[in-house]
Amino acid sequence: MVNVTINNRQVEVEEGSTILEAARKLNIEIPTLCFLKGINEVGDCRMCVVEVEGMRGMTPACITKVRDGMVVHTATPKVLEARSVVLDLILSNHDRKCLTCTRNGNCELQRLAQEFNVDEIEFDGERVEKKIDDLSPSIVRDNNKCILCRRCVAACKNVQGIGAIDCAGRGFSSSISTYKDLSLNDVNCTFCGQCIEACPVGALKEKDSTKDVWKALRDEDKYVVVQTAPAVRVGLGEEFGMEIGTNVAGKMVTALRLLGFDKVFDTNTGADFTIVEEGTEFIERATNGGTLPMITSCSPGWVRYMELNYPELIPHLSTCKSPHQMFGAIVKSWYAEKMGIDPSKIYMVSVMPCIAKKFERTRDDMQGTGFDDVDAVITTRELARMIKQAHIEFTGLEDSGFDDPMGEATGAAAIFGTTGGVMEAALRTVAEKVTGKTFDKLDYEAVRGEQGIKRASINLDGKEVKVVVASGLKNAQTILEEIKAGKADYQFVEIMACPGGCVMGGGQPIRSSKDRATIDIRSKRAGALYTIDEASTLRKSHENPVLQAIYKDYLGEAGGHKAHELLHTSYVAREKYKLED
Amino acid sequence: MKSLEEIKKIREEKRAELDLRVNTASNSREKHILVCHGTGCTSSKSPKIIENLRRIIEEKNVENVRVVQTGCFGLCAKGPIVIIRPEDVFYSLVKPEDAEEIIEKHIIGGEIVERLLCKDVDNSVVKKLDDLSFYKKQKRIALKNCGVIDPENIDEYIAFDGYKALEKVLFEMSPDDVIKTITDSGLRGRGGAGFPTGKKWEFTKIAEGDQKYVVCNADEGDPGAFMDRSILEGDPHCVVEAMMIAGYTIGANKGYIYVRAEYPIAVHRFQIAIDQAREYGILGENIWGSGFSFDLEIRLGAGAFVCGEETALLESIEGRRGQPRLKPPFPANAGLFQKPTLINNVETYANITKIILNGADWYASIGTEGSKGTKVFALGGNVVNTGLVEVPMGTTLREIVFDIGGGIPNGRKFKAAQTGGPSGGCITEENIDTPIDYESLKAIGSMMGSGGLIVMDDSKCMVNLAKFYLGFTVDESCGKCTPCRVGTKRLLEILERITEGKGEEGDIEKLEKLSRNIKNASVCGLGQTAPNPVESTIKFFRHEYEEHIKEGKCRAGECKALMNLWIDPEKCKGCGLCKRNCPANCITGEVKQPHVIDTSKCIKCGTCITKCPFHAISNK
Ligand SMILES: Cc1cc2nc3c(=O)[nH]c(=O)nc-3n(C[C@H](O)[C@H](O)[C@H](O)COP(=O)(O)O)c2cc1C
Ligand code: SF4
Ligand code: SF4
Ligand code: SF4
Ligand code: SF4
Ligand code: SF4
Ligand code: SF4
Ligand code: FES
């Protein structure tokens, strides 16, 4: 422990703490912009400068480590002037169009402008107009809004190990760019969206699909069905100022009805299909000498990563579609038939914590019925925007339940939204299928928790099954390298592209740098999912009665011919860089 | 491989052979024709001179003469330079076709080629290098061997005490002895910041680390500076030797020199020096049986000014984008590959061997209280003798500009001199007698910097000067931090506005506020010093800024947009030259009557000013 004096107040902090951390302990606020704890600790933006006695000039609080006896001043007139000039300079080079910006109201720069009482730009000057990249189905990059904090670069490179974006050029002409300045659509970007989550401003955002959804909702001819992924219900509330980790499933369903959707279904039912299909596929591979380890395929960001970087390992990927695609296919086949609706009239909307799913729905072999399984994917954030646009007072809504017949889902499906959840759900089913027994102990603690890579060994009636759970693409890479080197002693692998799983997906509410440093957002959101699971009467996917009925009446065997037609897909090797010839 | 004994023998024999190089009284029968082969003279064809001299000597079968290519003599304005030893005759502005006459007349005939002799500032013809006023006030320590030895020949280096300091250090001194000597000498870093070298060596020595490195910073990015280049071109071994001494002292066995890729001759010579030192067993394992091993490698600079900043330089050597790191930790503790690393500038190293051989007291006796030894300056701009000068610390600017530099050409007046390049500030008439050292320059708002010294006469506009330097920093900013990336650009924009006659009330205050905060909040030295030229010109020439803004006037006449020409009727003789040459046809007047300019039509080309034989036309 070391003693530090900040603004004449003493505080004892752990050695290795930064001035920023020490100040927070005293409830002294220091503004930041480029800092993202554990991800981007570079001290570049200079928003957080402070004075330290005995040090020349000013030093960034975000990365300067405290020393015993250090005397810090965080708010001298000199410091305040420096910060306001830094902010002014950033703003002078920023496309200040808050009114038409997705981040209006949740923007770290906007908030600073407000806090600093900016009423004019003192050092205004040249701004180079940059072209907007909106060619990909998932992500839009608008460098006119970029403040060069490099948080996205660090998220992409350091967390995901991708390096699709980096800072190019120097000095005033620096900009965040890609290989040869290609569109993100044509480089090794996985569409995981972690860069969006990292961005403090509106320079990175999802490709908007709300307009398409509104259009469908206005179309009398369309039967508009919506499904919502597990992680959405534990994120959406944040957009309305609710506590992180609040389960707002009930209000969400009510809101969706108010928006005019004809049916409000739960992707969790799709997740139960995924478990049954994936479990069956795994047992089949394990007993018939198929390619092992088998790796889950429900995270499209991860699937794209694999296709871009390890095409030779594609046989390890489960052929199962992700839950919402499966569900879309079921709605447009079994449900349409049952209800006598022309599937061509059904407009399937998925509300997802994910931007990769926007890309996923456009993939080949995602048209199980001949029609697109899913017609539009909107993120948690986009749904919130639609609710606000309709002026629905979300926090005051009554709860209501998903529509029948597919309102029923298991606790196993709910935990799909967090790292380890798919594995745990699968194990619950696989264990019973393999042993023929029924288990009461359903919590597989070993695959829970925040670590990027979790390894566990499960004993199924004397049969040892070794599993690995990885989240975040850098961790995925570690596992793939093991498999490639023939060093994998495990049979089943769950991978999610986003660190922490879909609760931390690229379509989830964006939290500020301060929240990310001071709140364990992942475990709060994931915790809410585990609570749903615990409270569920049904906690094993194969026990879902709706599923059982659909298999019995319509699909036949799990993993059978019809199931394959509707619920499975295929993969392709992808070039990392698409250069025009 | 050569044993220490063999090296000593080379030294003895070679020294005798080369005595004529430094001894005008030498009775050697041989003559050495020294031809400058530095970058400056090379580009004005000195290699061709060498080639011609050698060819003619062979054709005519002249005996007892040797043509030697050397490093820079310093007086680049008069290059290419050829010196004949031992008599020390100094030929300037030599052309390849002069080779024949030099051989015929001087070498064979024993007669001086009068027409190639150099005219001193007072117009007197000077025969010997030492008689030139340019050299009289200089004291050559770092440049001692430049222009004396053939830099591509290790034996010549050895002859002049080369690798003798290394020998002394390895066999007679402990690392602590070396540190004490360097500390006592008072040597401070010549790369810009002036950090005490002995201290830096000590910090790196006591830093914990299984592996340590010695790095030489030869990135020299200050526009107009070329002392480091000249040292590497003229005396590369002295840097090799000093880096080895540093390695022994701090406990490093590996060194890197980071050289600008734009310095091909320096890189080439340094590589030759490394190869020769390896061949002689001077670089390598267990040198001379001392137990000390050392090797050196060259790394080419990426061409960015900021790569000269020590941490950006380390990033670049490690193969990353050259962007500065946060300090602390300093390189002494976590440098190259996070290992303790000593980084010094070329000129700093060039002083080391001399301090070791002559002692700390000798070195400390030169210079001022806080700044010991000499400093090499690249003298440029509006001064008669441009070139490289090495003077004791404490020499005044007046001595450098007027005594050594020969004053201001074209009958103009001294206005200011900029030291420290884009990071520095200007020194005005008022401070021209300040003894130059680290402290005094800082006190008057400038800095030593790496040694660029640009002299400006009264035709130079100070706002424009600041604009020039800001243009440089804007181009060179790495873009990492906001104040420098955007702030310097905004400074430049304001300066551009002012020089274009679009200055506004409050602009000076804006410049001041922005400058102050860029300095305080930038990550590295580039940004922290970038506003210096603005602050310093405002400090000394605020009235010029005000004139630009309020009166729309540029007194120096450099800012075209503000040009407002008139013809002084008192001076105009009505010759009509201006009228005839004006492309805009806006000058009128009868012969022998004062002419007038219609300023509404004038395109401000300035032709008339240069055409008027009576200097009647000027900026109002
Ligand atoms: C922008 C910038 C550029 C620099 N360029 C050089 C350079 O070209 N050569 C140099 O020796 N030092 C340069 N320096 C200083 C170095 O960072 C460092 O202080 C120096 O190499 C230390 O050597 P010394 O102690 O021998 O002076 C530069 C510093 C900054 C901030
Ligand atoms: S990024 Fe922030 S500051 Fe910029 S326009 Fe959008 S909301 Fe406004
Ligand atoms: S979406 Fe993911 S892979 Fe693509 S640039 Fe952003 S962080 Fe990198
Ligand atoms: S895109 Fe966003 S996160 Fe990336 S550098 Fe720009 S402002 Fe920062
Ligand atoms: S982990 Fe979830 S949110 Fe992230 S890419 Fe995969 S499916 Fe999308
Ligand atoms: S001060 Fe300038 S050169 Fe230095 S890190 Fe900042 S942007 Fe780069
Ligand atoms: S400056 Fe050019 S255009 Fe103007 S009067 Fe002189 S010659 Fe004519
Ligand atoms: S420098 Fe600390 S937040 Fe950017």
- Could you report the predicted ipTM of this complex, rounded to two decimals? 0.93
Which of 3.40.50.300, 1.20.1740.10, 3.40.50.1780, 3.30.70.20 would CATH assign to domain A211-567?
Answer: 3.40.50.1780
Beta-carbon separation of B514 and A126 below 8 A: no
Is pTM, for the whole model, over 0.90?
yes
Cα(A199)–Cα(A147) distance, rounded to whole angstroms?
A: 9
**Model confidence pLDDT, tens digit, residues A412-450:** 999 999 999 999 999 999 889 888 888 888 888 889 988
Are B197 and B291 members of one domain?
yes
Helices and strands per DSSP (H, E), number in chain B: 25, 19
CB neighbourhood size of A342 (10 A)? 10
**Model confidence pLDDT, tens digit, residues B486-505:** 999 999 999 999 999 999 99
Are B98 and B171 members of one domain?
no
Identify whether B328 is preceded by a cis peptide bond (ω within 30 of 0): yes
Cα(B147)–Cα(B263) distance, rounded to whole angstroms?
A: 18
Are B307 and B410 members of one domain?
no
Are B304 and B179 members of one domain?
yes
**Residue B189 vs residue B87, higher pLDDT:** B189
Q: Check if B506 contacts A (Cβ < 8 Å).
A: no
Split at pLDDT 50, 70, 90, the class of A79 is very high
| Angle, CA B498 vertex, CA B495 and CA B501 arms, to 5° | 150
Say if B88 falls within a structural domain.
yes
Measured between beta carbons, which residues in chain B are less than 8 angstroms from residue A126? 489, 493
Beta-carbon separation of A172 and B326 below 8 A: no
**Residue A80 vs residue B302, higher pLDDT:** A80
- Which residues are near ligand 6 (CB < 6 Å)? B 306, 324, 477-481, 484-485, 522-524, 526-527
Q: Are strands A204-206 and A139-141 parallel, antiparallel or unpaired?
A: antiparallel
- Cβ–Cβ < 8 Å for A325, A203: no
Phi-psi label, residue B375: left if phi above 0, alpha if psi -120 to 50, beta otherwise? beta
Q: How many domains does chain B have?
A: 5
Closest residue on chain B to A49 (Cα): B521
Are B186 and B163 members of one domain?
yes
**What is the residue range of B273's domain?**
154-363
Q: Check if A82 contacts B (Cβ < 8 Å).
A: yes
For chains A and B, count residue pairs whose Cβ atoms are closer than 8 Å. 97
- In the CATH scheme, what is the code of domain A93-119+127-206? 3.30.70.20
Cα(B329)–Cα(B334) distance, rounded to whole angstroms?
A: 6
What three-state secondary structure class fits B430? helix
Split at pLDDT 50, 70, 90, the class of A541 is very high
Q: Which of A60, A81, A148 is facing B517, going by the closest CB pair? A: A81
Cα(A569)–Cα(B72) distance, rounded to whole angstroms?
A: 73
Identify whether A315 is preceded by a cis peptide bond (ω within 30 of 0): no
Of A403, A268, A369, A256, give the one whose Cα is nearest residue A322: A268
> A353: Cβ below 6 Å to ligand 5?
yes
Q: Atom 7 in ligand 4: which residue has the minimum CA distance?
A: A146
Q: What backbone torsions phi and psi does residue A376 show, to the nearest 5 degrees?
A: -155, 140
What three-state secondary structure class fits A118? coil
Say if B5 falls within a structural domain.
no
Q: Which of A58, A167, A173 is facing B520, going by the closest CB pair? A: A58
Eight-class DSSP state of A446: G
Closest residue on chain A to B520 (Cα): A57
| d(CA A478, nearest CA chain B) in Å | 24
Q: Which of A57, A64, A170 is facing B478, going by the closest CB pair? A: A170
Are B243 and B216 members of one domain?
yes
Domain CATH number, residue B170: 3.40.50.11540
Cα(B489)–Cα(B350) distance, rounded to whole angstroms?
A: 37
**Model confidence pLDDT, tens digit, residues A280-324:** 999 999 999 999 999 999 999 999 999 999 999 999 999 999 999
**Model confidence pLDDT, tens digit, residues A464-483:** 899 999 999 999 999 999 99
Split at pLDDT 50, 70, 90, the class of B605 is confident
Q: Are strands B374-381 and B452-457 parallel, antiparallel or unpaired?
A: parallel
Taking CA atoms, B42 is separated from B46, B50, B70, B94, in Å, by: 5, 10, 11, 12
**Model confidence pLDDT, tens digit, residues A392-406:** 999 999 999 999 877
Split at pLDDT 50, 70, 90, the class of B193 is confident
Q: What would the mean pLDDT of B148-160 be, rounded to a whole number?
A: 95
**Model confidence pLDDT, tens digit, residues A241-257:** 999 999 999 999 999 99
The crossing angle, in degrees rounded to 10, of helices A380-389 and A249-259 is: 60
Are B341 and B466 members of one domain?
no
Of B72, B102, B132, the one marking the end of a domain is B132
Split at pLDDT 50, 70, 90, the class of A94 is very high
Q: Quick check: A258 pLDDT over 90?
A: yes
Are B452 and B487 members of one domain?
no
Cα(B94)–Cα(B118) distance, rounded to whole angstroms?
A: 10
Domain CATH number, residue B529: 1.20.1440.230
* Per-residue model confidence (pLDDT) at position B39: 87
Q: Quick check: B97 pLDDT over 80?
A: yes
- What is the position in ligand 3's atom list of the atom closest to the CA of A355? 1
Are B173 and B314 members of one domain?
yes
- In the CATH scheme, what is the code of domain A2-91? 3.10.20.740
A93-119+127-206 and A211-567 share one fold: no
Q: What stretches of B437-584 show up as alpha helix (H) in DSSP?
A: 438-443, 462-476, 482, 488-499, 507-521, 525-529, 532-546, 577-581
Say if B145 falls within a structural domain.
no
Domain positions in chain A are: 2-91, 93-119+127-206, 211-567
Phi-psi label, residue A72: left if phi above 0, alpha if psi -120 to 50, beta otherwise? beta
Q: What would the mean pLDDT of A510-534 be, rounded to a whole number?
A: 96
Q: Check if A80 contacts B (Cβ < 8 Å).
A: no
**Model confidence pLDDT, tens digit, residues B437-467:** 999 998 888 888 888 999 999 989 999 999 9
**Model confidence pLDDT, tens digit, residues A95-123:** 999 999 999 999 999 999 999 999 999 99
Q: Quick check: A580 pLDDT over 80?
A: no
| d(CA A172, nearest CA chain B) in Å | 5
**Model confidence pLDDT, tens digit, residues B59-94:** 999 889 999 999 988 888 888 999 999 988 999 999
Q: What is the whole-number distance in angstroms between the Cα of residue A48 and the centre of ligand 8?
A: 5
Are B504 and B574 members of one domain?
no
Q: What backbone torsions phi and psi does residue A512 show, to the nearest 5 degrees?
A: -70, 165
Q: Which residue type is seen at B600?
A: S
Beta-carbon separation of B520 and A148 below 8 A: no
Say if B336 falls within a structural domain.
yes
- Which residues are near ligand 2 (CB < 6 Å)? A 94, 96-98, 101, 103-104, 107, 109-110, 145, 201-202
- Which residues are near ligand 1 (CB < 6 Å)? B 189-193, 195, 200, 217, 219-221, 305-306, 308-310, 343-345, 348, 450, 524-526
Q: Check if A45 contacts B (Cβ < 8 Å).
A: yes
Q: What is the whole-number distance in angstroms between the Cα of residue A91 and the centre of ligand 6?
A: 19
Measured between beta carbons, which residues in chain B are less than 8 angstroms from residue A167? 479
Beta-carbon separation of A167 and B493 below 8 A: no
Are B385 and B349 members of one domain?
no
Cα(A200)–Cα(B150) distance, rounded to whole angstroms?
A: 60
Say if B34 falls within a structural domain.
yes
Q: Quick check: A581 pLDDT over 70?
A: no
Q: What would the mean pLDDT of A90-94 be, rounded to a whole number?
A: 97
Beta-carbon separation of A172 and B481 below 8 A: no
Chain B, window 71-100: residues with a beta carbon less than 8 angstroms from a chain A beta carbon: none
**Model confidence pLDDT, tens digit, residues A202-245:** 999 999 999 999 999 999 999 999 999 999 999 999 999 999 99
Cα(A421)–Cα(A353) distance, rounded to whole angstroms?
A: 15
Of B530, B551, B572, the one marking the end of a domain is B551
Q: What is the whole-number distance in angstroms between the Cα of residue A183 and the centre of ligand 8?
A: 29
Beta-carbon separation of A85 and B510 below 8 A: no
| d(CA B502, nearest CA chain A) in Å | 14
Q: What would the mean pLDDT of A154-163 be, rounded to a whole number?
A: 96
* Per-residue model confidence (pLDDT) at position A222: 97
Are B276 and B226 members of one domain?
yes
Measured between beta carbons, which residues in chain B are less than 8 angstroms from residue A149? none
Top residue of A46, A62, A94, A112 to mutate, by most chain B CBs within 10 Å, is A46
Of B521, B606, B599, give the one whose Cα is nearest residue B566: B599
* Per-residue model confidence (pLDDT) at position B76: 86
- Cβ–Cβ < 8 Å for A175, A203: no
For chain B, the average pLDDT equals 93
Among the ranges given (A488-492, B167-171, B441-445), the one the predictor scored with the smallest mean pLDDT? B441-445
Give the tokens for residue A268: 């969790």
CB half-sphere exposure, A374, CA atoms < 13 A: 31
Q: Check if A77 contacts B (Cβ < 8 Å).
A: no
- The ligand whose atoms approach the alpha carbon of A101 most closely is 2
* Per-residue model confidence (pLDDT) at position B302: 78
